[in-house]
Chain A
Amino acid sequence: MEDQILALTAEVAAIKGAAEVTNRMFAEAYYYVTIPLMVLIHAGFLLYEMGATRLQNVLSSGVKNLLAFAFTIAAWYLFGWWFYFALPTWPLDFSAGAGYMEISGLEYANAIAWAWGDSAQYMGPNMGDNASGVFWGAFALFAATTASIASGALIERIQTVGFVICAVVLGTAAWGIAAAWGWHADGWLVTEFGYHDFGAAGLVHAVAGFFALGVLLNLGPRVGKFNADGSANHLAGHNMPLTVTGLMLIIVGFFGFLMACIILPGEGWSWYSDRATTIYGTPMTLSALAFNVPLAAAGGIIGAWVMTRDPFWMMSGCLAGIISVASGLDVYFGSTVIAVSILAGIILKPCADWLEGLGIDDAVGCVTVHGTIGLFGVVMLGILGSGVPGLGAFAPEDTVAISLFGQIVGAVVMFLLGFVPGYIVSWIVNKAGMLRIPDAVQERGLDAVKVPAQAYPQGMASPESES
């Protein structure tokens, strides 16, 4: 009998061990897969921006886009990851373990997020740590996505290195701080105001959109965009099919982006043993995304179609539809998503036209699609979702719930976290003479001046470059 009990105990232990290995490997593979899916966002941005660029500047736009991706990822490794863990309770409290989850603060960040000293063991291969790398990778792609969002607004007149400096500040500092404050269970926007932004409508999109606005104010419009009387000219990109296909690839990548916003169960870092959660520990399922993301994409396309009939704006509407409900994808009902995303698609073009009427040359509608609609989505969740508990398991009993006030506070913070750094860093870069490409070079074409490659065969030239 005793032997049988011992054998059974050993068998149970073996089964338990096997289950733990399976769960750990599944979790590692899950987050790993989100990384190449998010790279598709960048494939989409590359096509989108190059398609929206005139023929004489195509490769220059491509170089800029690729460098935003590359430098932001490197910078995220060097200090962005540290921002995310060090600053959730700052400036309220900068001490170690200031948040109740005890995964933030200066001491904690110093222990896990620097690529030197003792913390270096968590910033490279480590057989005992299956989580740090895949989480870092997913966050690095979030950072690169944030930087690339702003890139499109600035095409055809921003210098390469000046842009890289702006992109690094946006992708690491601006987004890193936004995520620490509003996308971390210890973040003060979450714990003090109940800020909820599951799919990063404010954290990524609004921050990137309004960072771009800050840069645009110092950068100025492309040569030929505005006439002497202030009226605007439409500077058509050289390849609309490329642009629209790129936008669709961005949508594909969004599924990976949103998938990475879920915390899987059953691991040491999980909120629950049996259910996935948001980053706030509130319960959710992948099925919620499967319902709501396609519905939001559909609603955005439909709303933009009825206003514009233009495939560029319809695909921008597709993005806007998803962004408009991203904050509450975990708690919205499907029909609510359809209604909100159609509304986002409808208001998109009028908002972009209003911005252009102010003399701002946003080449791809970035400020409107990401900035304005991002804030619209954050506030809309406050209107529709007030009362939803802000944090899940282990949360203190007095945890603040989602509220309209909290979402408005979050929207204001996200606007400022984008616009202020964008304006300041581009102002400094401009003073250093590294921001705007001289008008004479813009008229000649950027590729001929600074790219040692050719986009298309000789003989294929745009009317602009010929003139």
Chain B
Amino acid sequence: MGYFAESFTELMDADGAWMDMGMYIGAGSSAAGWWTVIAVVMLVGVLVKGNSDEQDHYK
């Protein structure tokens, strides 16, 4: 995946103050959005599988 900064000093502005920005893996790229899509797909998939198994108990 990689990281967007080689040093944490890149997260500071010229005055040495911390910038208001994401400092997670994938920050500043589309990675956050893709991870959200993956997470949503997994959650929906779990619910579909869970419901399918539950309905089998009622037959």
Contact = CB atoms under 8 A, between A and B. Distances in A.
Which of the listed residues A306, A328, A332, A401 has the most CB atoms from chain B within 10 Å of its own CB?
Answer: A306
Contacts of B8: 282-283, 389, 392-393
Nearest 6 pairs of A and B residues by beta carbon:
A335-B35, A387-B3, A338-B39, A335-B36, A333-B24, A335-B39
A305 B35 contact: no
Interface stretch (A83-91, A94-102, A378-386, A459-467): A378-386
- Chain A, interface size category, equals 20 to 34
B46 A283 contact: no
Contacts of B5: 389
Nearest to B22: A333
Contacts of B38: 335, 339
A139 to B, nearest CB: 25
Given A283-B11, A392-B8, A333 B43 contact: no
A384 B42 contact: no
A385 B42 CA distance: 21
B18 A283 contact: yes
Interface string B13-49: 0000110001111110001100110110011001001
Given A333-B27, A336-B26, A338-B42, 10 more contacts: A302-B46, A305-B50, A331-B24, A335-B32, A335-B36, A385-B1, A385-B3, A386-B1, A387-B3, A389-B7
Interface of B: 1-3, 5-8, 11, 17-18, 22-27, 31-32, 35-36, 38-39, 42-43, 46, 49-50, 53
Contact of B43 (A274, A342, A343, A402): A342
Interface in A301-315: 302-303, 305-306, 309
Contacts of A331: 3, 23-25
A388 B24 CA distance: 9
A392 B42 CA distance: 35
A275 interface: yes
Contacts of B36: 335
B12 to A, nearest CB: 9
A388 B25 contact: yes
B32 A328 contact: no
Nearest to A381: B25
A270 B7 CA distance: 19
A305 B32 CA distance: 26
B7 A339 contact: no
A303 B46 contact: yes
A333 B26 contact: yes
A274 B17 CA distance: 9
A430 to B, nearest CB: 43
Nearest to B40: A335
Interface in A9-56: none
